[in-house]
Amino acid sequence: MLRWPRKRSLVMGVCAAATLLVAVLRSTPQEPATPARLAEQGSGEGVLVTRAIDGDTITLATGELVRYIGVDTPETRRRVGGRWVEDPEPFGREAAEANRRWVDGKRVRLEYDVQRHDRYGRVLAYVYVEGEMINAKLLEEGFAQLLTIPPNVKYVERFQALARQARREGRGLWHGGG
C-alpha cells in the first residue's frame, strides 16, 4: 500500500517540474526573427538599406536604425528646440555622402558584438556590403574617428591600426594635419 503514494508523489513531482519548465521557456524573451537577425545568421540576401542618415547611421527596410560600432563621423545636423536643423560639422557632409554611396539601396549583412542596442534603441552592428566592412572603410578612408565603447570591442585593434594609418597618411578628416 505504500507504493501508490510514492508513485503518485513521483508523478506529481514530474508534472510540476514539466509545468515549471514550460512556464520558464514561454516567459524567456526571444528576439524577433527580423531581416537584420536573419542577415546576421548568414542569410545570403541580407537586409536592404533605405537611407544613410549620416556617416555612421542607416535605416533598414525593416524601419530599424543601425548605428555602426567602433566609429564616429562628424555630425550633419543637430537638435534645436525639439527639431533637427542642418548644421554640419567640418567633414560631416563628406562622411555622410561616402556612406550613402557605399550603402544606400544596397543589401547589407549585419554582425553584432556583445551589446546589440544603444541607449537610444538603435541596433549596434558591423555593417558589410559584398563582404566589405563599412565601419572599417570609414576609418581607412579618414571619414571617421575611432570610437571604442565597451563591451563592443571585437575589432578594436584592427580599427586602431586603420585610424592611425589614415591619420598618418592625411586622409579625409586628417587632411592638413587634423
Catalytic residue among 37, 51, 93, 122: 122
CB atoms within 10 A of CB 21: 10
41-44 long-range contacts, Cβ below 8 Å, gap at least 24? 43/109
164 catalytic residue (yes or no): no
Distance between first and last Cα of the chain: 89
Rounded (10°) CA dihedral 126, 130, 131, 135: -30
Which three cell numbers mark 29?
A: 524573451
Catalytic residue among 75, 97, 111, 141: 75
User: Chain centroid to CA 12: how far?
Assistant: 47
Catalytic residue among 40, 64, 67, 107: 67
37 catalytic residue (yes or no): no
CB atoms within 10 A of CB 61: 13
67 catalytic residue (yes or no): yes
Q: Report cis status (omega within 30 of 0) of the bond before 29.
A: no
Per the CB < 8 A criterion, the answer to whether 128 and 81 are in contact is: no
Q: What amino acid positions are annotated as catalytic residues?
A: 67, 75, 122
